[in-house]
Amino acid sequence: MEKDLREAILRLVEASKEFQVLALSQNTALMTILALDPAKRAALTRDQIQAAICDAHPGARQTVEQVSASLLRALVADKGVLEEVLAYPAMLVRIRPKD
């Protein structure tokens, strides 16, 4: 694969990973909050919600890193890149927060 195209894909993947981590952190926090009883949920403050998002961040980062690893390896090795690029969006959709 042409080096410039490979580098462009690599940069796009790295940039998208940051948004994926944020979205997964927020989703995980939301699922945790929704599991609370209504009275506790209603009493949550903005700071508590933000803390829940921050608490979910390390797990979200680890998950996103695992999902993107095979694509990043293919880009570095310049082998099987097209297959990995085509599979990557489907892998992102299957990401679920850990219980």
In a domain, 98, yes or no: no
Q: How many residues does the chain have?
A: 99
Q: How many CB atoms are located within 10 Å of the residue 9 CB? A: 19
Range of the domain at 62: 3-93
In a domain, 61, yes or no: yes
In a domain, 72, yes or no: yes
Tens-place pLDDT, residues 43-81 = 999 999 999 999 999 999 999 998 888 888 888 887 777
- The domain total for the chain is 1
Tens-place pLDDT, residues 2-37 = 878 888 888 888 899 999 999 999 999 999 999 999
In a domain, 40, yes or no: yes
Name the pTM for this structure: 0.78
Q: DSSP readout, 47-94?
A: HHHHHHHHHHHHHHHHHHHHHHHHHHHHHHHTSSHHHHHHHHHHHHHT
In a domain, 27, yes or no: yes
